[in-house]
Amino acid sequence: MRRVDKHDDRTERSVAFALAVALYLIWVAVTYLLEGRILTLQRPEAADARLAYALVANVLVGIGGAALVVWVLSNMGVISPRQAGFRRLGHAVPAVMVGAALGFVLYAVQGPPTFNPVVIANAYAQVLVVSIAEILVCWAVVGSASEVLLQDRRRGVAPVLAGIVSSVMFGAYHFAHSPPFNTVGFVVLLTVIGLVTSLFFLVSRDVYGTIAFHNFAGILGVTRALESSGTLASFERPVIPILVMAGVAVVLLIAAHVLLVSRTPARPSSRTRQADMVD
């Protein structure tokens, strides 16, 4: 077994954090180029631009890039897939059920404009692709890398600080979006939402459950925007392209989990074992 001294250990953790930040910055830059710069989300007629934004920023960079970074860091022995929130199916299923239930409760208590299940399903599908990318980049990658970077602190402190880092970076990422998401007020609000998401991720340590929970925060904004524009009725029938895109994103997430993240060394380092014990 390879012996790693403290200097090498700190260097590897720093490299891991730098790699995580690099992915985050690429994701933010691509989001700005394909969405914020050209106001894609403010132009309902810009179907091609919306598709390019979803596929490149969120599917390619957000999902594919994050899975690749988790795989690299796992092979380095810096983090484990479990620490990044990739668990067995037996853990993911109840986590998704709990996450969806809690998310729906939070949606319901805020006085949403509709409880129509078809509208909710369409809205949920519309924001799901972005939510998957957000959880993978900000929590599975940046959060995990931050946790190992800070692990020399007192027991239990590193996960909390990592959650704060993830939440702040999640909020700041919205400066790359079109108005009103790029305003200071929205960024602060979304950072607070990120703290709630961090709490769920810390407790569950499951990306699937965290996505199910976090995604409900997005559908409230969608349904209210549809109501204010008088187009809520357009979501009262299944919107097939949106549902298909969401399904594709979920399939790609599972495929990335199976093909990349699960193929990690059978000899985790002492620091990944220690992190899994805290988990």
**pLDDT at 88 > cutoff 70:** yes
State pLDDT tens for residues 101-151: 999 999 999 999 999 999 999 999 999 999 999 999 999 999 999 999 998
Q: Is residue 113 part of a domain?
A: yes
The model's pLDDT over 214-241, given as tens digits with 9 standing for 90+, comes to 999 889 888 888 888 788 888 899 999 8
Structural domain includes residue 55: yes
Please report whether residue 1 resides in a domain: no
d(CA 133, CA 168): 16
195-217: burial string, b at 16+ Cβ within 10 Å, e else = eebbebbbebbbbbbbbbbbbbb
Whether 262 shows a pLDDT value over 90: the answer reads no
**57 domain-assigned:** yes
| pLDDT at res. 5 | 59
Q: Is 28 a domain residue?
A: yes
Residue 77 domain flag? yes
> Using 50, 70 and 90 to split pLDDT, how confident is the model at 269?
very low
pTM: 0.91
Q: How would residue 258 be classed by pLDDT, with cut points 50, 70 and 90?
A: confident
Give, in order, the Cα–Cα distances in Å from 263 to each of 70, 71, 250: 11, 8, 19
Report CA-CA distances (Å) from 111 to 207, 211, 224, 242: 27, 22, 10, 25
What's the total number of domains in the chain?
1
Mean pLDDT of the chain: 89
Please check whether residue 95 is in contact with residue 85, taking contact to mean a CB–CB distance below 8 angstroms. no
What's the domain range around 85? Answer: 6-278
* 195 neighbors 163 (Cβ within 8 angstroms): yes
